[in-house]
Structure 1
Amino acid sequence: MQGRHRPAERRSIQGRHRPAERPTGRPWHPGGVSGTSVPGRPRLATRRRPGLTPREEVLDAAGELFTTRGYAATSTRRIAEAVGMRQPSLYHHFRTKDDILEALLSGTVTAPLAIADALDPLPLTAPVRLYALCLADAGQLWTSPWNLGILYLLPEVRTERFARFHRQRDALRLRYRALSQAVLDALPPQGPGHYRPDPADDTVFRLTETLPNLRADGLGFPDQPRRIADLALHTLGWPGDPGGHHDEAQRALDGVALTPQHAS
């Protein structure tokens, strides 16, 4: 993408990236819905990571190490040290390093799926519904503490071990496809020769998933989630200013309890 400036602060190519302004409020937890902590051995140190439970602290530490040092180069011992616990204590929460990676990956897709479900009963038009999902999904990919979306590209993730994550990701992709079809069905009649996108191309879903690469390259804007949502409707051929749907979509997101923080 051309003409994009670098955010105010740039981190390492796969590391932490904070847009110029980051929303405050309800904390975002990298594993999705918080798990119940299991009593383990005493800590080596007082709590030093973000998170309401030791499990969430492990996920935060792993998210940092996987995205800055690399997955293969990170051991469970190193993760435990970053949290301030003994390595055996870590196994009370995750049996293997792959389990930690799966939890991080799943959290990036189960959160927007939960939002899509929460939006279902609301009386929203098709473009507002799609706009809201894009805004929320892009928001969590863009403003999460660590650039977890870049982990999708790990060769380890392409193995059968992560089939559950791929099923979850496919479910999110199909939600995008259905909402894109609904937007196309709501378009006013077009003249002969008018290009009509095919929802099966999953253009909007793949557009949203460009954000991890933008973060890794230090590109984009603080309001990049809104730009992605605008571009999604524009790509489908919705007439007028797509940004006109922003306020209604934002109100809908504010009204559902599972909304992650997102740029507005």
Structure 2
Amino acid sequence: MAAAAELFTVNGYAATTTRAVAERAGLRQASLYHYFTGKDDILATLLESTVEPSLTFAGRLLAGLGECDEETAAAGLWALAAFDAELLFGGLYNLGALYQLPEVRGERFAGFRRSRGELKAAYGTLLARLDEAGDPALRTDLLLGLVEGGVAVARETGGRQAREVGEAVADAALRLAGRTAGQTAAARTAAARLRPA
């Protein structure tokens, strides 16, 4: 998986062959096919691995928050954005950059798209508790784009730690949600009890 992640993000998905992945992993190509049916299967597995932990966290978070007030929803949104950004940034390679590949529209990637849609819905649920202005679907898309894009920008500049990136992205997410600097700082403090250790 690490070999495929490296080759897909460095050389590009289209330019990477299963033979190259097998060679990088120290396997014969035939051995690779014991685990994966092809290149699409490898990419789908990688992409799903970038969404599932955040989706699991979002589910626990929303269940724990229940019907909450704006301040608690803000803390929840901060915690989710920070967790998601840390996860994406903490990987060896920027797999989030592969989300927009045309190939990801194919049937093999339906599971990934469904999971990402569920994660987006979790962001939307929290955002709706904070901000009823404008088009909620557009604002949710922008929020998810901020998290994924913020990680890509932070990777380009280098020299950052995952927690630092997660916190900066979460602060920006709350500002997008209409929170003031003071409200964002309060949400950051309150989110400490919601985040995993």
Task: Using structure 2 for the length normalisation, give the TM-score.
Answer: 0.84
Residue 231 of structure 1, aligned match among 151, 166, 172: 172
Structure 1 position 220, deviation (Å): 8.9
Q: 1:83 & 1:243 partners in 2: Cα distance? A: 44
Partner of 1:51: none
Match of 2:100 in 1: 153
> Aligned partners of 2:82, 2:56: CA distance in 1, in Å?
14
Compared CA separation, residues 105 and 229, structure 1 to 2 (3 A): same
Matched, 1:199 2:136: yes
In structure 2, what is the Cα distance between the partners aligned to 1:153 and 1:220? Answer: 25
Query: How much has 1:212 moved relative to structure 2?
Result: 4.6
Residue type of the alignment partner of 1:154 = L
Question: How many residues of Structure 1 are paired with residues of Structure 2 in the alignment?
Answer: 187
The structure 1 residue matched to 2:31, chosen from 85, 89, 105, is 89
Give the conservation status (yes or no) of the 8 Å contact 1:126–1:183.
yes
**Residues 89 and 155, structure 2, Cα contact 8 Å, conserved in 1:** no
Bigger Rg, which one: 1
1:45-87 deviation digits (Å, cap 9, x = unpaired): xxxxxxxxxxxxxx11100110011112212122122222222
Which residue identity lines up with residue 156 of structure 1 in the other structure?
Answer: E
Amino acid at match of 1:252: L
C-alpha distance in 2 between matches for 1:120 and 1:177: 11
Q: For 1:106-162, what per-residue CA distance to the aligned partner results, in whole angstroms no more than 9, with x for missing partners?
A: 112112101111223435711111111000011112221110001112221233332
Q: Amino acid of the residue matched to residue 46 of structure 2?
A: L
Could you tell me how far apart the structure 2 residues matched to 1:121 and 1:168 are?
17
State the distance in 2 between where 1:213 and 1:99 align: 24
Residue 127 of structure 2, aligned match among 180, 185, 208: 180
CA distance in 2, matches of 1:149, 1:252: 24
Note the alpha carbon deviations across 1:151-199, whole angstroms, 9 max, x for none. 11222123333222212211111111111011237xxxxxxxxxx3432
Work out whether residues 154 and 160 of structure 2, in 8 Å CA contact, stay in contact via their aligned partners in 1: no
Deviation sequence 1:197-216 (CA, Å, 0-9, x none): 43221132221121354156
Report the AA paired with residue 173 of structure 1: K
TM-score by length of 1: 0.64
Match of 2:48 in 1: 106
Mapped to 1, the partners of 2:151 and 2:8 lie a distance apart of: 14
Q: Contact 1:150 / 1:212 at 8 angstroms: preserved in 2? A: no
| Aligned 8 A contact 2:143 2:173 in 1 | yes
**Cα distance, 1:244 vs structure 2:** 2.6
Write the distance in 2 (CA, Å) between the matches of 1:159 and 1:197: 32
Q: SS at the partner of 1:210? A: helix
How far 1:243 moved relative to its partner? 2.6
| Correspondence 1:75 to 2:26 | no
Q: 2: distance between equivalents of 1:120 and 1:127?
A: 12
Which is helix-richer, 1 or 2? 2
Residues 91, 156 of structure 1: alpha-carbon distance in 2 compared, 3 angstrom cutoff:
same
User: In structure 1, what is the Cα distance between the partners aligned to 2:74 and 2:173?
Assistant: 9
Q: Identity percentage over the alignment?
A: 41
- Within 2, Cα distance between the matches of 1:212 and 1:155? 21
- Distance between the aligned counterparts of 1:164 and 1:251, measured in 2? 31
CA RMSD of aligned residues (A): 2.2
Report if aligned partners of 2:62, 2:122 keep a CA contact under 8 Å in 1. no
Tell me the distance in 2 between the aligned counterparts of 1:168 and 1:64.
Answer: 23
1:237 and 1:120 map into 2 onto residues whose CA distance is: 20
Aligned equivalents of 1:72, 1:115: Cα separation in 2: 32
